[in-house]
Amino acid sequence: MGILSARDNSLIYKGQYDPYVYKAIKAIPGRRWDPDRKEWLLPAVPDVINTLQNIADVRITDDAMAMVSLQLDEESRRRRTEEIVRSVKEQEHSKPIKPMPIKLKPFAHQVKGFNVCITLFGWD
């Protein structure tokens, strides 16, 4: 039986040798063997959890599940940010969402940057 836990932004698998488990681990991109600690260092991504969840002899700790869910939250925030930036960039003649706190007429890229910040931080 092996245990999948979390440490330093990585998932750690430690357990007795099992050819089925090791075959699954070796198929994971980005995995590394730490010979000093005798454990596998795996990337903290949902695919690793999905792969190892299907193996009966692997116990996944709560901290490993929490780390992967945190990664999912960060990924969804990143996608949302990219979506907002893309939608603002696609506007050809953009106008400020709110009055800009400047006296001169802003350039188009300044208006777009202002609109991205206003939208991202929910100040609209």
How many domains, the chain?
A: 2
Quick count: other Cβ atoms within 10 Å of Cβ 3? 14
Query: Is residue 26 domain-resident?
Result: yes
Containing domain of residue 35, as a range? 2-69
**pLDDT band at residue 56 using 50, 70 and 90 as cut-offs:** low
Work out the average pLDDT over 61-74: 83
> What percentage of the chain carries pLDDT values higher than 70?
98
Q: In DSSP terms, which residues pair with 7 in a beta bridge?
A: 10
Residues 57 and 9 in one domain: yes
Q: Do the beta carbons of residue 5 and residue 61 sit within 8 Å?
A: yes
Q: Give DSSP secondary structure letters for 82-112.
A: HHHHHHHHH-SS---SS--S-SSPPPHHHHH
Q: Is 8 helix (H, G, I), strand (E, B) or coil?
A: coil
Largest distance between two CA atoms of the chain? 70
Note the pLDDT of residue 65.
86
Query: Is residue 80 domain-resident?
Result: no
Token pair of 108, please? 């188009």
Residues 59 and 114 in one domain: no
